[in-house]
Amino acid sequence: MSDDIRNRHGAFSWAELMTPDTEGAKSFYSSLLGWELQDFPMENFAYTVVKTGGEQVGGIMPLPPGAPAHMPPSWGCYITVDDVDAVAEKAFSLGANVLVPPQDIPSVGRFAVLQDPQGAMFNIITYFERF
């Protein structure tokens, strides 16, 4: 197993932008930061992987179906955990809300979306393959 920090339980491992204007965001961030972008067609949309120095560090995607019309674009973070199901259950017992229950992202890993007791949202993930 790699000693990449992104493999460690509790480490921030991925950043993801959800926006109604993916093309505008891709143009802005690639021009501003020199990001390399690679599109991956998904079932219902195109997901863009963000790379810097050849390493995958994040993604850009459209707002999810059913999102409120007034939902602003936002960056979200993923925190690596050893066991998504166990951590989601523990978070709930500590007062968090489970907004999206644990589920698989094909070929990537298992994730959940949580909201801490103070209201901040974050994602947890266990990758199928480690970095």
- Count Cα neighbours of 108 within 13 Å in the Cβ-side half-sphere: 20
Q: How confident is the model at residue 10 (pLDDT cuts 50, 70, 90)?
A: very high
The answer to whether residue 11 scores a pLDDT higher than 90 is yes
* Residue carrying structure tokens 């968090």: 96
Q: What's the total number of domains in the chain?
A: 1
The answer to whether residue 57 scores a pLDDT higher than 80 is yes
What pLDDT does residue 131 have?
A: 63
Q: At 41, is the secondary structure helix, strand, or coil?
A: strand
pTM of full prediction above 0.75: yes
Identify the CATH number of the domain in which residue 22 sits: 3.10.180.10
Range of the domain at 57: 5-127
Distance CA 5, CA 3 (A): 6
The answer to whether residue 81 scores a pLDDT higher than 70 is yes
